[in-house]
Amino acid sequence: SASYVHSSVLPSPMAVLLQLGLSIKSGDLPYHLGITLARLIVSFLLAMLFGIAIGLLLGRHKKTDDFFDSWLIILLNVPALVTIVMCYVWFGLVESAAILAVVVNKLPNVIVTIREGAKNLDEELLQMAQAYRFGRFKTLQHVVLPQLYPYIMASARTGLALIWKIVLVVELLGRSNGMGYQIHLFFQLFDITSILAYTVSFIVLIQLIEISILKPLDKRSRQWKVS
């Protein structure tokens, strides 16, 4: 009986891999993984887009930054669980509420990081762009963004690590599909093997995103900065 308890609480790697294969073959894992991935991508892009825009605004306008600084501190310290629950209470158990909860949890981190980058922009380069009558878009493309790229990449990498964890909690609390929902179901069934199998699949996916997208993007951004 001791070996049974040990195997049920801490299954062997072979058992986890076997369960992973069965979950893929049945179609359950690809289905729920795809749904979670879609939520992750949408939330990530929205958080980065709005975070970069707001962070740049605050970094270049001191009065606006001073006004919103205390609100940023509050948002940074509000527990993710509270934000998720309130979004579901206010907007219902719908997909838009789930996405909003993830974005709101990540947005302050992106804003703070980009704001610091915007404060450290080279003023001489900005003045030179103005002297050569660069338009706003051209200045943003050739002067501002190349200087912000380290901050953007830092936000992207930390954001990816944070967002997928929040997405799982969002799914656990208020969705009827996705990896978080499935893990919660396995928890109720005390199916540790399936929990570990799903976890392994998601870790592999995140690593693939890092290797195939973020690292090449970082390399390309460095070349862009040099040019």
The DSSP secondary structure of the chain, one letter per residue, reads -HHHHHHHHS--HHHHHHHHHHHHHHTHHHHHHHHHHHHHHHHHHHHHHHHHHHHHHHHH-HHHHHHHHHHHHHHHHS-HHHHHHHHHHHH-SSHHHHHHHHHHHHHHHHHHHHHHHHHT--HHHHHHHHHTT--HHHHIIIIIHHHHHHHHHHHHHHHHHHHHHHHHHHHHHH-SSSHHHHHHHHHHTT-HHHHHHHHHHHHHHHHHHIIIIIHHHHHHHHHHHH-
Q: What pLDDT is recorded for position 119?
A: 87
Q: What pLDDT is recorded for position 223?
A: 62
User: What predicted TM-score, i.e. pTM, was given to this entire model?
Assistant: 0.84
Least confident of 65-79, 119-133, 174-188: 119-133
189 vs 168: CA distance, rounded Å: 18
* Domains in the chain, CATH or no CATH each: 27-226 (1.10.3720.10)
pLDDT above 60 (res 2): no
pLDDT above 90 (res 159): no
Least confident of 57-71, 107-121, 203-217: 203-217
Q: What are the tens digits of pLDDT across the range 74-99?
A: 988 999 999 999 999 999 999 999 99
pLDDT above 80 (res 31): yes
Q: What pLDDT is recorded for position 120?
A: 84
pLDDT above 80 (res 194): yes
Q: What pLDDT is recorded for position 222?
A: 65
Residue 215 near residue 156 (C-beta atoms within 8 A): no
Mean pLDDT for all residues in the chain = 86
Output the six-digit token pair for 43: 């939330």
